[in-house]
Amino acid sequence: MNLIRRPRRNRQSAVIRDMVQETRLSVTDFILPVFIMEGKNVRSEVASMPGIYRFSLDLLLNEIQECVDLGIKTFDLFPNISESKKDKYATESYNPDGLYLQAVRAIKDRFPEVMVMTDVAMDPYSSDGHDGIVENGKILNDPTLEILGKMALAQAQAGANIVGPSDMMDGRVGYLRQVLDEGGFHEVAIMSYAAKYASAFYGPFRDALDSAPKFGDKKTYQMNPANSREALIEAQLDFEEGADFLMVKPALAYLDIIKLLNDNFHLPIAAYNVSGEYAMIKAAAQNGWLDGERAMMESLMAIKRAGANVILTYFAKEAARLL
Ligand code: PBG
């Protein structure tokens, strides 16, 4: 055959393949989500997330040290709160002596160079298991913002570097920016969950935190998986309201949304490779149905190739070891 174009020429050896590789993963791309819980000397594995643990404060610091040694520098914290501390208004979320804010302070004390990202949402502390105040079965938007404001301010006071509103209430990015600025926290960044979908892939996370909604679902605030143009509206609003990063969540089933936001906005784009995405690969690998390491690296690469500069992933430690 007289073929002028032979794409295989650029795949013929490892050296050439490496030279023409367009996307590269780096440990600096990753943010590791970390689950914390009350108690001493507790390290409890999440049943649906093999290899992922909830840590009590004392063990948390050892875990962070291990991650820092692997080059992971940013952590996103999520608390498992005992049922007795939950209420309708998530008041435990801004208790300065509560588990969560203690953890933020402890990490920043011991590892000042580490970036601590905090989660701004009511669900882990809400007796209704929702991300907003519930009244007569409805999620109230504007009154919820006040609670989110108190939460973000308390997190900033504890030393958080990035706050991550994961609630999907309207107007929360602008409201948080205002509260943070008034509190003197101009340097605290906002990573908004701009396009967060009402997804089945959050199941294992809700197991980890015992935070599943007590009734109904989250479809009046999280987005319909069928929609992509709507993601542009959400991202535009968060951009105008002052977000520093725009996040897409989940990641793998939403690579088109990652690309859409990357093409249309000049902010860093983050993607959350969520608990269910982690669980799927782990389960298949444990059954010997696929090569877990390769599936992990291929997924992370795909998320980056689609346009995410920042990847929140439970695989961060494992991937860091391979990189
Ligand atoms: C809720 C929140 C969720 C996740 C992060 N923050 C779940 C939900 O919306 O119910 C999911 C993360 C994951 O699945 O890994 N504020």
Q: Is 196 a catalytic residue?
A: yes
Give pLDDT, residue 78. 98
Give pLDDT, residue 105. 98
Give pLDDT, residue 3. 97
Q: Which of 202, 211, 217 to mutate to test the pocket of ligand 1 (most atoms within 8 A of CB)?
A: 202
Q: Which of 34, 117, 122, 123 to mutate to test the pocket of ligand 1 (most atoms within 8 A of CB)?
A: 123
Give pLDDT, residue 12. 98
CA atoms within 13 A on the CB side of 323: 21
Sign, Cα dihedral of 244, 301, 22, 262? negative
**Residue linked to tokens 């088109």:** 256
Q: Which of 144, 167, 205 to mutate to test the pocket of ligand 1 (most atoms within 8 A of CB)?
A: 205
Q: What are phi and psi of 143, to 5 degrees?
A: -65, -25
Which of 179, 172, 218 lies closest to 194 in space, CA to CA?
A: 172
Classify the complex by whether its ipTM is higher than 0.85, answering yes or no: yes
Q: And the tokens for 180?
A: 């943070």
Catalytic site residue from 249, 282, 304, 317: 249
The C-alpha angle 30, 79, 219, rounded to 5 degrees, equals 85
Determine if the peptide bond prior to 268 is cis (ω within 30°): no
Cα 119 to middle of ligand 1, angstroms? 10
Give pLDDT, residue 24. 98
- Closest ligand 1 atom to Cα of 212: 10
Concatenating the DSSP letter of every residue in 219-253 gives TTTSBPTT-SHHHHHHHHHHHHTT-SEEEEESSGG
What is the CB < 6 Å shell around ligand 1?
119, 121, 123, 131, 166-167, 202, 205-206, 218, 274-275
Give pLDDT, residue 317. 98
Give pLDDT, residue 240. 98
Q: Which residues pair with 247 in a beta bridge?
A: 193, 270
Give pLDDT, residue 76. 98
Q: What residues does each domain of the chain span?
A: 23-322
Give pLDDT, residue 201. 98
What is the rounded distance in angstroms from the CA atom of residue 123 to the CA atom of residue 132?
7
What is the rounded distance in angstroms from the CA atom of residue 52 to the CA atom of residue 97?
26
Which of 302, 242, 256 lies closest to 277 in space, CA to CA?
A: 302
CA atoms within 13 A on the CB side of 30: 28
In CATH, what number does 23-322 get?
Answer: 3.20.20.70
Q: Is 219 a catalytic residue?
A: no
Stated pTM of the model: 0.97
Concatenating the DSSP letter of every residue in 69-105 gives HTT--EEEEEEE--GGG-BTT-GGGG-TTSHHHHHHH
Give pLDDT, residue 291. 98
Q: And the tokens for 244?
A: 């520093």
Please tell me the residue having the least CA distance from ligand 1 atom 1: 166
Give pLDDT, residue 30. 98
- Which residues in the chain land under pLDDT 50? none
Cα 268 to middle of ligand 1, angstroms? 21
Which of 238, 232, 233, 234 lies closest to 262 in space, CA to CA?
A: 232
Cα 142 to middle of ligand 1, angstroms? 21
Cα 17 to middle of ligand 1, angstroms? 37
